[in-house]
Amino acid sequence: MSFRSTTVADVFVERLFDPPLGTAELESMPRSRSARLSARGVTWRESFLDRSGRRMLCRFEAPDEASLRDALEQERVQVEELWAGTVHGLGGSTLAESTAAGESPVLVQHRVEEPITSSHLRTVESLCTWCLETHRIRLVRMLLSLDLRRIVYLYRAPDAESVRLAHRQAGLELDVVWPYHEVAGCLPDGRDGA
């Protein structure tokens, strides 16, 4: 398995919700909000909401982190984390491909103290291959922060526990693992400041 970069630099937003967010609240971003963001050079691209509705990761295209942060502050949208990064996909695989029977989307977030190196990624790749195949897990995409201290894996797997087990067996650390579904929107109306 070999990675190729599909996007130069995107900006990712992590949000937490209490009470949990329902998918109905995300049907679409209000047109007025979308137009205001667009006027600032910000375009929403995709969002991943955990199945409990408590966590969300969104990808935007923006001139830079500060532009997106300013735009979200203007919209009174509170975020937990905001970081620039790159998207790495496996040749030909996309999230839009249909999920095979018995597969669920699972997201893994991990932070490290020392920047991740290409050597580290190759080691992870070789360690993971056997574990992922054994547990019927497909790595679809990887998101890597520009400071190389944050990595997000997007998998198709039987369940989140299979992903946890495969990471443990490969000796890889993980911070948060959650099953997710893709949703339309990141800035739900009526949840500003949430």
Phi, psi for 56 (deg, rounded to 5): -145, 140
Residue length, the chain?
194
Average pLDDT over residues 12-22: 91
Residues 6+ apart with CB under 8 A from 74: 36, 40
The structural domains of the chain, ordered by start, are 3-85 (3.30.70.980), 88-180 (3.30.70.3090)
Stretch 155-175: mean pLDDT: 88
Cα-Cα-Cα-Cα torsion 142, 147, 148, 151, nearest 10 degrees, comes to -40
Q: What is the pTM of this model?
A: 0.84
Residue 4: what residue type? R
Given a cut of 50, is residue 171 above it in pLDDT?
A: yes
Angle 44-47-52 (CA atoms, 0-180°, nearest 5)?
Answer: 150
Instruction: State the burial class of residue 46 (Cβ atoms within 10 Å of its Cβ: 0-12, 13-18, 19+).
Output: middle
Question: Which tens digit of pLDDT belongs to each residue from 29-85?
Answer: 566 788 888 888 899 999 999 999 999 999 999 999 999 999 999 988 889 999 999
Phi-psi category of residue 148: left, alpha or beta, with phi > 0 → left and psi -120 to 50 → alpha:
left
Cis peptide before 19 (omega within 30 of 0): yes
Over the stretch 88-97, which tens digit does the pLDDT of each residue have?
886 444 455 5
pLDDT of residue 101: 58
